[in-house]
Chain A
Amino acid sequence: MTGFANDFPILAQEVYGRRLVYLDNAATTQKPDCVIDAISDFYRKDNSNIHRGVHYLSEVASEKYEEARKKVSDFIGAPEQSEVTFTSGTTGSINQVARSLEPTLKGNEVLVTGVEHHSNIVPWQLAGAKLRAIQVDDDCNLLLDSMEFTDKTRLVAITHVSNVLGCINEIREVVKIAKEHDVPVLVDAAQSIQHIPIDVKDIGCDFLAFSGHKMYASTGVGVLYTSERFSDVMPAIGGGGMVEKVELEKTTFLKPPLRFEAGTPDIAGAISIGSAIDYLQKIGMDKVKKHEHDVYSYARDKLMEMDIVRIYGTADEMCGAISFNLEDIHHYDAGLILDKMGVAVRTGHHCAQPLMRFLGVEGTVRASFALYNTKEDVDMLVEGIQKVEMIHN
């Protein structure tokens, strides 16, 4: 193992007698030792409920939880820590916004893009909104001219990076245009937070959603950044830990972030996000971005050299995922054989069925990268594809 892979114990194993090459990072990333230790330390030493107890452990747990919140707010450049809420993940974050804004959204419109995954489609539909998509060109660059605002447009909800194609959307431009129409913007950063530095002030968005598990932390926990101007929206979920005063007739709520965190949160999970951020910052996000860019470009070049490979999406800026198909070979057949070669990829529609229809395919093979991937991993992928071709013919 080379480079950062040494920090990730799971990558030291063999599958089917071959070195594991994990290229399914858009689905979930592996965890470094420090994150695994942070989770285990919490349960071994600090486990207690937070913001409730007067006892020692509760104080320690509360402090560590709030420390994680501070790390997140620093990491994404949130002006106030109160703008950072822990949720169950990207899907949970988006649903929280959809539920909170439901009265505004019902019968009105949300603008999305043609490259969204289902998590940025279904919650808005459930809130009663009609979706309209910002179109993309054949290279999957957003056609900003196609952003059409009507008197019913209440929100723009847009992914930063496509989970299928890896194209990076020009979110700053989108926010700028939306602001001109006084429409708030939610950015789905599920596929960008782990790859490129993010600053919410710089982006100017009103909401930003991402998951812990795609950025080297645990599953079942995520973040929703809500700009202060939405701090008084009604919480989507009610219960303990988020209320100021409860009477049978009426309840008043605490100020954010606690008003958006009903019940006992995933405390260890939040702490794991803090620990993952420490890890990323120790390396430096610019260094992460550069290393990943090198591996990603190498992978694209290598795959493009192969006659059998057809890559989808060639936007100007890309990161994370590469989607492709092999000529005359079904993506599922390719995935099965690559797996036997020790190469873990995802195949299918990647929870982005509208995009599949746009591309005119049933599914693709997706190789997606993280900071521990290397050019050697790409070589193994290439070797795997050659094997697929050989077996198939």
Chain B
Amino acid sequence: MRDAIQDEIIKEFDGLEWFDKYGLLISFGKVLEPMDAEFKTEENAISGCQSKVWINSLVNDGKLVFSLDSDAMITKGIISLLMKVINNRSPQEILDLDLYFIDDIGLKSNLSPARSNGLASIISRIREIAKEKAD
């Protein structure tokens, strides 16, 4: 199923060369609100990433709101897009969501398996949290 937010992101990346894509991700990363230091705990950290990623979530009016942060700027850019797509949805909506934008903006094919492993572990943690909240 098509999703308006993801389609919007895909449009933004459409036709860009790789260096412009990375440039764009870096610019998204730079404006991403940093996570409060108190949430950057071992418990909130995601392993399997070459860069560090922290994830925190809260439920607001039945909708899940994630905040993520990373020490690497390109990763920060990617997670800022992820947050745009997944936030303010019900846990079940998140579980049902097909994150096709990652492939469509050329990130999946541009990242080697080991690196996309990092992205894959972020998404699998998001799904785990959504599943917990949905139960």
Contact = CB atoms under 8 A, between A and B. Distances in A.
Contacts of A248: none
A336 B52 contact: no
Interface string A349-371: 00000000000001100000000
Contact of B71 (A347, A348, A362): A362
Interface string A117-157: 00000000000000000000000000000000000000000
A387 interface: yes
Interface in A6-26: 16
Nearest to A392: B26
A333 B18 contact: no
A306 B82 CA distance: 35
A16 B18 contact: yes
Given A330-B51, A332-B51, A340 B19 contact: yes
How big is the A interface, by class? Answer: 10 to 19
B132 to A, nearest CB: 29
A330 B73 contact: yes
Contacts of A387: 19
A246 interface: no
Interface string B44-69: 00000011100000000000000000
Nearest to B30: A392
B86 interface: no
A391 interface: yes
A391 B71 contact: no
Nearest to A348: B50
A57 interface: no
A329 interface: yes
How big is the B interface, by class? Answer: 10 to 19
Contact of B52 (A329, A337, A347, A362): A362
Contacts of A348: 50
Given A387-B19, A391-B19, A392-B26, A336 B74 contact: yes
B19 A330 contact: no
Given A347-B50, A348-B50, A362-B52, A332 B22 contact: no
Interface string B68-108: 00011111000000000000000000000000000000000
Contact of A333 (B19, B26, B110): B26
B34 interface: no
B113 interface: no
A336 B51 CA distance: 11
Contacts, number: 41
- The secondary-structure label for the interface of chain A is helix
B75 A340 contact: no
B22 A391 contact: yes
Given A347-B50, A391-B26, A332 B19 contact: no
Contacts of B26: 333, 391-392
Contacts of B22: 336-337, 340, 391
Nearest to B19: A391
Contact of A332 (B23, B74, B110): B74
Interface in A314-341: 329-333, 335-337, 340
A333 B50 contact: no
A330 B71 contact: yes
A363 B110 CA distance: 22
Contacts of B18: 16, 340
Interface of A: 16, 329-333, 335-337, 340, 347-348, 362-363, 387, 391-392
Of all A-B residue pairs in the complex, the 4 with the closest CB atoms, nearest first, are A330-B72, A332-B72, A332-B51, A332-B50
14 contacts: A16-B18, A329-B73, A330-B51, A330-B71, A330-B74, A332-B72, A332-B75, A333-B73, A333-B75, A336-B22, A340-B19, A348-B50, A363-B50, A391-B23
